[in-house]
Structure 1
Amino acid sequence: MKAAGIDEVLLGEARAAVEAAGAVLRERYTTHARVRNIAEIFEELQANDNAVLPELERRLLAARPGSRWVEDELATGAMPEGEWWIVDPAEGNINHVHGMPEWAVTATLMRDNRPVLTAVHLPLAGDTYTAVAGHGATLDGEPLHVSTKTGLDAALVATGQAQPHEDEETYRRIGESVTALLTAGLVVRVSVPATLQLINVAAGRMEAFWQYSEVRSGLVSGALLVTEAGGVVTDIHGDPWTPARRDFLAAAPGVHRAVSAALAPVK
C-alpha cells in the first residue's frame, strides 16, 4: 500500500480515537465553571487529561506500529526524525473547566517534522475536521476552502496566547500585534485555543491567525488543515513554517502578505 493509502487508513483510526475521547470529555462537561481557584483549575485540567490520554495513546500507537508519542503537550521546537503523534487530549481545556464550549480533541501524525494527517473533534458540535497531506481538508467529509477575500480591511483575524504564564516579552508582542491588526484589519479576535481559530481559517470563516509561540500541539493540526484547504502557513515574516519557528501565521492567500506586512514592525 502506498504512503497516501496508509495515511488514509490511519486517519480513520485517528478520527475514531479522538471521537471516543471526545465522548468521555462531553460526559465530564458542565455549562458552569467547576473551579474556584488556581489549585482547582490545574486539578481539573489534569483530571480531564487523565480521563482520556491513556486510551488515546494506546489506540494511536497501535494504529501505527513504530510511531512514537510526544509526552508533553506543551513541548516546543523541532523534533527528532521519524513518526510522532502530537495529541492534545483537551485542546481548550481551560474553557472546558470553566463551562465554555470552545474545546476539542486533536491528534496529528508528524513525519520528519511535517504534519501528514490530523483529526480534530469538537464534541459539543459533533464536528470532526480531518486532513491528509496532499489530499485536502474536510469537515465531516465535506471539503474545506479558505476565504477568497483579498482586502485586509475586510478581514476577520485572530490571535491568542499559547499557554498560561507566558513571558513578558511575548505579552508585549501580542499586545502590539493586536494594535497593528486592529488598525489594518476589520475585526481582531483574541481567544484560545489556537486550533479552534485555525479551523475557522481553514473553513473560510476567518482570514488569518497568528501566534508568538513554538508550542506544537496547538499549531500542527491547524497548520495542516489550513494548508490543505488552500491557505498559506509561514512564520510571521513569510518564511516556511516548521515546528522550530518561534512564531506562526496561517492565512488565506489573498490577505497573507498584508497580514505579514502589518505584523513586521512588531519585534
Structure 2
Amino acid sequence: MGLVGATEVLLDVAVSVAREAAALAMSSRPSAIHDVDTKTSKTDVVTAADVAVEKLVRSRLSELRPGEPVFGEETGGAQAAPGQVCWVVDPIDGTVNYLYGLPWYAVSLAAQVDGVSVAAAVVEPETGREWTALRGGGSWRNGVELRVSTATRLDMALVSTGFGYRAELRSWQAAGIARLLPKVRDIRRPGAASLDLCSVAAGWVDGYVEHGLSRWDWAGGALVAEEAGAVVRLPTSADAVGPGLIFCATPGIADQLLAAVKEVGLTEQTP
C-alpha cells in the first residue's frame, strides 16, 4: 500500500472521530460555558467541553488505533517513536469564540509521522463544513477539491492573523500587524488558527501569519492549506521563518508577504 493508500485509512479514522467530537462540542455548549477555567492567562480559557471532547477523541482512537500516542491541547501526550503514527488533537480550536457563541470554531485532528502531518480533518460543528487532507493526495471541503487563490499583488491581498493570550505578546503582535496593514488590502482576525489555514486553502484569504501557536493549532489546517497549493512554513520545520511563527500564503504573494513580514519585525523573537 502506497503513502496515499495508507493515509486514506488514517483519514477515515480522523473524519469519523472528528465528526463525533464536533457533535459533542456543539451539544455540550449550553452547560460547558458555565464551567470555565483558565490556563496561561486570565484570557486563555478552557471549558468543560474542551476537556470532554478531548477525552472522547482519546477514547475513540484507543479503540480504532490502539497503541498509537495522542498529543492534545488539554492533556498533553507521550512522545511517538520514530515512524509511529501520532494523533494531534485540538478539541475546540477557537474556545473563546465557542464561549461567546460565535460559530467560528472547530475540532482539529491530524495524524502525524515523525512530526509531519499525513492526514487531517478539521470539522466545524455549527456549519457542518469538513476540511480534509491527505499528504500527496489533495485537500477538500465537503468533498470539493480546494485550491488557493491566484493573487499576485501583496497590496491587493487579504491576510489573516491571530493574537496570543498574554497582554505583552498581544501588544507586540499588534504593533507588527499595524506596520503590515498598509502593505496589504486588509487584515482579518477570525479567532481559530485551524480555520484560518483552511481559509487560505479555500482562497477566502490570501495569506496567514501568526506567532505563538502550538502543534495542535496547526497540525490539521496546515496540511489542508499545503495540499491546496499554499506555501507553508511551520515553526518546527527546517525552513521556519522565525521563532514560533507560522507562515502560509498563496504562491503568487508568498515571497512578497514573507519580505513584508520580515520588514515589519514579525520574524523576531517574541516577548
Q: CA deviation at 1:71?
A: 4.1
TM-score normalised per structure 2: 0.84
Worse overlay, 211-220 or 173-182: 173-182
Q: Check whether the contact 1:194–1:219 (CA below 8 A) recurs between aligned residues.
A: yes
Q: Where does the alignment leave 5 or more consecutive residues of structure 1 unmatched?
A: none
**Counterpart of 1:143?**
145
Q: CA deviation at 1:255?
A: 0.7
Identity %: 30
Q: Where does the alignment leave 5 or more consecutive residues of structure 2 unmatched?
A: none
Distance 1:116 1:235, change over 3 A: closer
Q: Render the CA deviation track for 1:33-91: whole Å, top value 9, x for unaligned.
A: 9569977x99983311233222211222333333211144597xx97633211101111
1:55, 1:37 → 2: CA distance? 19
Q: Check whether the contact 1:214–1:245 (CA below 8 A) recurs between aligned residues.
A: no
1:114, 1:138 → 2: CA distance? 19
**Counterpart of 1:18?**
18
Q: CA deviation at 1:191?
A: 3.6
Q: How many residues align?
A: 257
1:91, 1:97 → 2: CA distance? 11
C-alpha root-mean-square deviation of aligned residues, in Å? 3.0
SS state at 1:107 partner: strand
The AA in structure 2 aligned to 1:260 is L
2:229, 2:26 → 1: CA distance? 31
2:20, 2:35 → 1: CA distance? 29
TM-score normalised per structure 1: 0.86
Distance 1:197 1:174, change over 3 A: same
The within-5 A match list for 1:168-183 is 168=168, 170-183=169-182
Q: Check whether the contact 1:235–1:245 (CA below 8 A) recurs between aligned residues.
A: no
| Structure 1 runs, 4 residues or longer, greater than 4 Å off | 33-39, 41-44
The AA in structure 1 aligned to 2:105 is W
2:186, 2:24 → 1: CA distance? 35
SS state at 2:47 partner: helix
Q: CA deviation at 1:214?
A: 4.3
The within-5 A match list for 1:51-130 is 51-73=52-74, 81=82, 82-130=84-132
Q: CA deviation at 1:235?
A: 5.2
Distance 1:113 1:71, change over 3 A: same
1:106, 1:220 → 2: CA distance? 8
The within-5 A match list for 1:1-267 is 1-29=1-29, 34=33, 45-73=46-74, 81=82, 82-162=84-164, 164-165=165-166, 168=168, 170-234=169-233, 240-241=239-240, 246-265=244-263, 266=265, 267=268
Q: Check whether the contact 1:158–1:210 (CA below 8 A) recurs between aligned residues.
A: yes
The AA in structure 1 aligned to 2:61 is L
Q: Check whether the contact 1:233–1:240 (CA below 8 A) recurs between aligned residues.
A: no
Q: Check whether the contact 2:54–2:72 (CA below 8 A) recurs between aligned residues.
A: no
